Structure 1
Amino acid sequence: MKRVTIPDLARAADVSVSTVNRVLNQPESVRRHTREHVLATAEEIGFYGLGTMERSVRKGRDTHRLGILLQQGGRAFYRKLGSALREEAKRHVQAPVDLRLEYLDDLSPDNVAARLINLSRTCDAVALVAAQHPRLADAIDTVTAVGVPVTALIAPLDARSNVGFVGLDSYMVGRTAAWAFDSMVRQPGEIGILIGNHRYRNQEMNESGFRSYFRENNTAFTLLEPRTTYESAAVAREMVEELFHDHPEICGLFVSGGGITGALAALREATKRKDFIAVGYELFDATRDALIDGTLKMVISHPMDRFARAAIDAMIRAKKSGAGTGTQRVALGFEIYTSENV
């Protein structure tokens, strides 16, 4: 019988000769789904280098190639999250984790979708923080169709295919923030709400939980329509200034989305009621300082180290289970900070 060569295997597997060579020599540069397909074809047709290919693919199985897209690297929260994820990847003991972490400055749906597809080409599993959008849903379906599972971080995402999730119970975050206003504001009045973007579903659920608490427990408060910051500190500052101009007797502000540094700058300059309180989201240097000087009364935050550990573990489980298995959803408990425990 004629010996089955690399070109023969490439034709049988419907891949290029260079792909077969990379499976043999650089398995980390080939998608897991493709590696496994080429190996299965090699076994079926009796490829002469089957033993070498099995060892190569097995080596690729032992290393977890994980890709994560985070938002703007200039924002303190995402820098902190990126550091926590990198440290967790280094600490992973069962098998090496090759973490490919990218920051996105352009948050347009087309760019996020394109970067997700590009990252998936060299990863066994991918995760991202993003706003819900049809373009992104299509990209998620494209990625999962070739066997790469997708996990949403912080903000849940939907697509026709399964999308995992690691984050907080955002509905309970909103209710907890509402409890703080109900407990600390002596005379009920108007409360302003800032969100980054309604397409971030965690922020939408924050607001839903916030409103549900007051409907059930204290209808004397008036919740103003949320104002959108588009994750911009400059816009957040402008929104807070407008709130105080339009509602001078406002009793509180719930900052549920991005741009909190701008909101804090405006709050420090505003003339406020004595019992005015503000509740923010995520603990980092700026919000910690605001708790200490009284600009914020409470901060609700992701438990950064536990979040990073849960995210890496969820991605590895998704890789092992495959993109077509049931959705994994991990809801973490959140941390609460005041001036007394920062």
Structure 2
Amino acid sequence: MRRPTIRDLAQAAGVSVATVNRILSGTVSVRPKTVQRVQSAAEEIGFYGIGAIDDRAKKLSPHHRFGFLLQQSTRELYKLFGKKIIAACRDRRDEIVEPIVEFVDLLTPETISSRLIALGDTCDVVGVIAPDHPIIGQAIRSLKEMGKPVVAYITDQSAPERAAYVGTDNWKLGRTAAFLIAQTTQGPGRIAVFIGNHRYQCQDVSDASFRSYLREHAPRLTVEESRPTHEESSEAYRMVAELLKTTDDLVGILIVGGGITGVLRALREVPAKRRAGIKLVCRDIGPDTRKGLSEGMITAALCHPLEATSALLVQTMIDVIGPQAPVATLQRSIPFEIVTPENI
């Protein structure tokens, strides 16, 4: 097969041979969009000089340093979030984005705030998953004054100085969870709700809308007060195990925070017949959730589509920096996925 020539590349990209030569030599200025068009054409036809064109495109592309503050380095779900965010940064074609992904294990507002400020010192913009707390809000305010926008990811912040929110519509998510439990249970029964922390907006909104739907459509079901797991599986295990010992009318569990591993552990300790009568709905999907789904223990997981959400997060962070950044706070929702044992 004949190797593509410079003339072939020029024709495929819709530019002159002289323009391709200028890009390859790197000695004359060429518009970035033209370089990107030639770069795409070179990849498509398998041009031998793609390495030189890629290098030229990188030199002409804007360079950014993005910080991402996630939670709990020991949790597989957050590790997966981090990997998908890095991939989304590297997939950018019009910019060079250097991702700095850090994890917070001690989830106190003071720790999160100090880590947020530290990331902002070295990055152009910061994406953060964090509870909504005045101390964290002050850190967001301080970073804005430094010209460093903060984008709330997965769970929103009330600080008006935040630049944007990227995540799912949590009101719809909670009502969907309630719909699933109402449709898969019969007769009266008790529903237990577990959240990570009352200060996570995504969890609090999901909790409220879950109750709203059941009051409206399934008053036969009694929803207990929310129990915080503090994002700890051991705490979730302790509470579910106690609940299973002291009640015989439990028909549903909603868990919208961390601790699914503990919930599943407690359910595995009861007879299969009892377990089958308890419908479990959770958020997002890691290895333990996937296993629970495959075993039929989880009725549904309501999940962020990680690739699409990560790409939207990175795009939003690009949109909120620079002279063209919007004045108003951006609110960007992405539809959640419903994963069941039958479509996993």
Pick the TM interval, shorter chain.
Answer: 0.7 to 0.9
1:51 corresponds to which residue? Answer: none
Judging changes above 3 Å, is the alpha-carbon distance between structure 1 residues 132 and 323 closer, same or farther for their aligned structure 2 residues?
farther
Q: Deviations over 1:133-157 (max 9, x none)?
A: 1111111100001111110001100
Assess, with a 3 A threshold, how the Cα gap between structure 1 residues 298 and 160 changes in structure 2: closer, same or farther: closer
Which whole-Å deviations, capped at 9, do the CAs of 1:201-222 have from their partners, x for residues lacking one? Answer: 1000110110111121111110
Whichever residue aligns with residue 319 of structure 2, its letter is R
Residue in structure 2 matched with residue 85 of structure 1 by the alignment: 85
**Does the CA-based 8 Å contact 2:61-2:95 persist in structure 1?**
no
Residue 5 of structure 1 corresponds to none
Asked if the contact 1:190–1:221 (Cα under 8 Å) also holds between the matched residues in 2, the reply is yes
Q: Per-residue deviation at 1:186?
A: 2.0
Cα deviation, 1:286-321, whole Å, max 9, x if unaligned, reads 111111112111111110000100000000001135
What is the aligned partner in structure 2 of residue 310 from structure 1? 312
CA apart distance, 1:273: 6.1
Number of equivalences: 284
**1:298 is aligned with what amino acid?**
A
Distance 1:265 1:123 in 2: 40
**Structure 2 residue aligned with 1:247:** 247
Query: 1:203·1:256 contact (CA, 8 Å) conserved in 2?
Result: yes
**Cα 1:323–1:311, aligned 2, differ >3 Å: closer, same or farther?**
same
Contact 2:61 2:96 in 1 (8 A): no
> Deviations along 1:162-205, whole A, 9 cap, x unmatched?
44100111111110000011111122311011100010110001
| Amino acid in structure 1 at the alignment position of 2:342 | E
> Is the CA contact 2:109–2:133 (under 8 Å) kept in the aligned structure 1?
yes
Residue equivalent to 1:56:
none
TM-score, with structure 1 as normaliser = 0.80
Structure 1 runs, 4 residues or longer, greater than 3 Å off = 321-324
SS of the equivalent of 1:204 reads: helix
Specify whether residues 164 and 338 from structure 1 end up closer, same or farther in structure 2 by C-alpha distance, changes over 3 A only.
same
Aligned to 1:62: 62
Indicate conservation of the 8 Å contact 1:147/1:323, yes or no: no
Superimposed CA distance per residue, residues 52-110 of structure 1 (whole angstroms, 9 cap, x where no aligned partner):
xxxxxxx8991121111000111011011100001111110001001111111111111
* Partner secondary structure for residue 203 of structure 2: helix
Letter in 1 for 2:172: M
Q: Could you tell me whether the CA contact under 8 Å between 1:186 and 1:275 is conserved in 2?
A: no
1:203-222 equivalences under 5 Å are: 203-222=203-222
What code does the residue aligned with 1:292 have?
Answer: S
Q: CA deviation at 1:274?
A: 4.5
Corresponding residue to 2:298 among 296, 302, 318 = 296
Report matched runs for 1:1-342 at 5 Å.
62-271=62-271, 272=274, 274-320=276-322, 325-342=327-344
Read off the aligned partner of 2:169 and give its amino acid letter.
D
Deviation at 1:322, TM superposition (A): 6.8
Q: Is the 8 A contact 1:150 1:323 kept in 2?
A: no
Deviation (angstroms), 1:121:
1.0
Bigger mean CA deviation after superposition, 224-233 or 278-287: 278-287
Assess if the C-alpha contact under 8 Å between 2:194 and 2:254 holds in 1.
yes
CA RMSD of aligned residues (A): 1.6
How big is the shift at 1:275? 3.0
In structure 2, C-alpha distance between the alignment counterparts of 1:137 and 1:105, rounded to whole Å: 19
How much has 1:276 moved relative to structure 2?
2.0
Matched letter for residue 300 of structure 2: M
Q: Following the alignment from structure 1 to structure 2, what is the Cα–Cα distance between the partners of residues 223 and 329? A: 31
Contact kept? 2:194, 2:227, Cα under 8 Å? yes
- One-letter amino acid matched to 1:228: P
Find the aligned partners of 2:311 and 2:113 in 1 and give their Cα distance. 25
Secondary structure of the residue that 1:192 maps to in structure 2?
strand
User: Where does structure 1 lack aligned partners over 5 or more consecutive residues?
Assistant: 1-58
